[in-house]
Amino acid sequence: MASGFFILLDDIAAIMDDVAVMSKVAAKKTAGILGDDLAVNAEKASGFISSRELPVLWAIGKGSFVNKLIILPIAFLLSYYLPTAIIIILVLGGLFLAYEGAEKIYEYFFPHEHHDENEMIDKPFSEEEILAAEKGKIKSAILTDFILSVEIVIIAMSTVIGKSLSSQIMVVSIIAIIATVGVYGIVALIVRMDEFGVRLIQLSKKESGFLYTIGNILVQALPKVIKALTVIGTLALISVSGGIFVHQIPFLHHLFPQIPSFIKEFLAGLIFGFVVLLLVNLVKKIFAKKK
Q: What is the per-residue pLDDT for 20?
A: 64
2 confidence band (pLDDT: 50, 70, 90)? very low
pTM check: above 0.95: no
Mean pLDDT along residues 126-132: 68
> To 10 degrees, the CA torsion angle through 14, 15, 16, 17?
50
Q: What is the pLDDT of residues 270-279, one digit of tens each?
A: 999 999 999 9
Sequence letter at residue 13: A
Inter-CA distances, 105 with 60, 98, 189, 213, Å: 26, 11, 27, 35
Q: What is the pLDDT of residues 159-182, one digit of tens each?
A: 777 777 777 788 888 888 888 888
Q: What is the per-residue pLDDT for 279?
A: 94
282 confidence band (pLDDT: 50, 70, 90)? very high
Q: Closest by alpha carbon to 93, among 44, 167, 146?
A: 146
Q: Closest by alpha carbon to 45, among 108, 261, 37?
A: 37
The answer to whether the beta carbons of residues 169 and 254 sit under 8 Å apart is no
Is residue 280 predicted with pLDDT exceeding 90?
A: yes
The answer to whether the beta carbons of residues 280 and 99 sit under 8 Å apart is yes
Sequence letter at residue 239: S
Q: What is the pLDDT of residues 13-26, one digit of tens each?
A: 444 555 565 666 66
From CA 79, how far away is CA 154, in angstroms rounded?
10
Is residue 12 predicted with pLDDT exceeding 60?
A: no
Q: What is the pLDDT of residues 214-248, one digit of tens each?
A: 888 888 887 888 788 778 778 877 887 888 888 88
Burial of 15 (0-12, 13-18, 19+ CB in 10 A): middle
